[in-house]
Amino acid sequence: MNVKAALVFLLLPLSGLAQTIQLENGAFKVAGWHPDRAATPADWSSIFAVSVAQPQAAPMLGTYSVEDGTLVFRPRFPLAAGVRYRAVFEATGFPRTEAFFDGPERADLPATKIVGIYPSTDVLPSNTLRMYIYFSAAMSRGEAWDHIHVLDENGAPIELPFLVVDQELWDPTYQRLTLLFDPGRIKRGLVLNEQLGPPITEGKRYALVIDGQWRDARGLPLSRGFRKTFQGGPPDRNPPLLNLWRVSTPKAGSLDPLVITFPKPMDYGMVQRLIEVPGVSGSVVVDRQETEWRFTPSEPWKAGDYRLLVNASLEDISGNRINRAFDVDRSKLAADRSSEATGSLPFSVR
Using rule CB under 8 A, residue 333 touches other proteins: no
Using rule CB under 8 A, residue 336 touches other proteins: no
Which residues 29-68 are close enough to bind other proteins by CB under 8 A? Answer: 51-52, 54, 57-62
Q: Which of 31, 79, 111, 207 binds other proteins (CB under 8 A)?
A: 79
Nearer to other proteins, 1 or 58 (CB): 58
Parallel/antiparallel/unpaired status of strands 157-158 and 148-151: antiparallel
Integer Cα distance of 114 and 223 in angstroms: 9
State the minimum distance, in angstroms, from the CB of residue 77 to other proteins: 5
Judge contact between 123 and 233, C-beta under 8 A: yes
Beta bridge partners of 343: 310
Using rule CB under 8 A, residue 337 touches other proteins: no
Using rule CB under 8 A, residue 140 touches other proteins: yes
Query: ∠ CA(29), CA(34), CA(39), 5° rounding?
Result: 100
State the minimum distance, in angstroms, from the CB of residue 51 to other proteins: 6
Q: Which of 94, 101, 134, 170 binds other proteins (CB under 8 A)?
A: 170
Using rule CB under 8 A, residue 191 touches other proteins: no
Q: Which of 38, 76, 278, 279 binds other proteins (CB under 8 A)?
A: 76
Q: In what order do the strands lie in the sheet with 176-180?
A: 114-118, 130-135, 176-180
Helix or strand or coil: residue 193? helix
State the minimum distance, in angstroms, from the CB of residue 152 to other proteins: 19
Using rule CB under 8 A, residue 339 touches other proteins: no
Question: In what helix (H) or strand (E) does residue 145 lie, and over which residues does it extend?
Answer: helix 144-147
Binding residue count for other proteins, defined by CB under 8 A: 36
Instruction: Report CA dihedral (345, 320, 281, 258) to the nearest 10 degrees.
Output: 60
Judge contact between 265 and 289, C-beta under 8 A: yes
Query: ∠ CA(294), CA(298), CA(304), 5° rounding?
Result: 80
Quick note: the x/- pattern for other proteins over 199-238, rule CB under 8 A, is ------------------xxx-------------------
- 199 to each of 129, 162, 204, how far by Cα in Å? 10, 8, 11
Integer Cα distance of 11 and 180 in angstroms: 75
State the minimum distance, in angstroms, from the CB of residue 289 to other proteins: 29
Using rule CB under 8 A, residue 134 touches other proteins: no
Which amino acid belongs to residue 299?
E
Nearer to other proteins, 143 or 153 (CB): 143
Nearer to other proteins, 5 or 42 (CB): 42
Tell me which stretch binds other proteins (CB under 8 A): 74-82, 88-96, 274-282, 318-326: 74-82
Nearer to other proteins, 216 or 315 (CB): 216
Q: Which of 101, 134, 174, 347 binds other proteins (CB under 8 A)?
A: 174
Q: In what order do the strands lie in the sheet with 275-276?
A: 275-276, 304-311, 342-349
Q: Which of 51, 165, 36 is nearest to 99 (CA)?
A: 51
Integer Cα distance of 74 and 232 in angstroms: 60
What residues make contact with other proteins under the rule CB under 8 A? Answer: 51-52, 54, 57-62, 75-77, 79-80, 82-83, 85, 108, 137-138, 140-143, 163-167, 170, 172-174, 217-219
